[in-house]
Amino acid sequence: ARLLLATANKKKLVELQRILDAALGMHQIELVGLADFPGYPDVPETGLTFGENALIKAREGAKRTGLPTVADDSGLAVTALNGMPGVFSARWSGAHGDDAANLDLVLAQVSDVGDEHRGAAFVCAAALVLPNGREHLVEGRQTGRLLRARRGEGGFGYDPIFLGDGQERTNAELSPAEKDAISHRGKAFRELAKVVAKELPR
Ligand code: ITT
């Protein structure tokens, strides 16, 4: 089946294709990104929750392309920052998509927070919207805590400062498959893969 993934984030596209291939078998799902639709507009993410934003992105994609569309809305919720940056994770430092600046700002904001209070969670909402209007929404989380300095080169976004519960390596020090096994996105999209298999049988 051919699915639109309504994202401008290339690293999400790579992670998602990998997760769906592992869940459903190679070549079951062909994800196409927004890059294949020149002129696709920037869709304002006005939702107050990850789920609302995932649905906004997926609905717009299905409406504009006629393809079954999946969308991911994700981010980091930091306990000491009352759940922020949350839905603002990609634009926390102002510049949309400047991962390094966003990470530096969060680190600075928790610099005075003691070791026992550095809890955080990655959250991923994954939506599927079909051209016939049917909608599905699932969520996955990975809990952990924030380090005081970066470690590792893998992953993206806030991965270098996030140590998952029970882990000795940051998400950026895990292999792609190791990250998928425990990540918010891995959990959400393995759940969504079951829905895709039911809604879009081959
Ligand atoms: P689209 O809206 O086009 O999908 P985006 O990058 O703007 O792309 P979001 O609005 O969902 O996506 O913001 C997600 C941000 O949350 C992302 O830029 C990272 O800063 C952070 N994030 C999400 N998943 C992450 C992960 O697996 N590891 C590290 N940081 C992550």
**ipTM confidence score:** 0.97
Atom of ligand 1 nearest to the CA of 97: 18
Residues 6 or more apart whose Cβ sits within 8 Å of residue 3: 29, 30, 31, 32, 67, 68, 69, 70, 196, 200
Q: pLDDT tens digit string along 6-21?
A: 998 888 899 999 999 9
- Residue-range domain boundaries for the chain: 2-199
**pTM value surpassing 0.80:** yes
pLDDT (0 to 100) of residue 193: 93
| Among 9, 16, 96, 151, residue to substitute to test ligand 1 (most atoms within 8 Å of Cβ) | 9
Q: pLDDT tens digit string along 33-60?
A: 998 999 999 999 999 999 999 999 999 9
Distance CA 54, CA 75 (A): 12
Architecture of the 2-199 domain: Alpha-Beta Complex (3.90)
β-pairing verdict for 30-32 and 69-78? unpaired
Active-site annotation holds for 73: yes
**Residue of 21, 36, 73, 115 with catalytic role:** 73
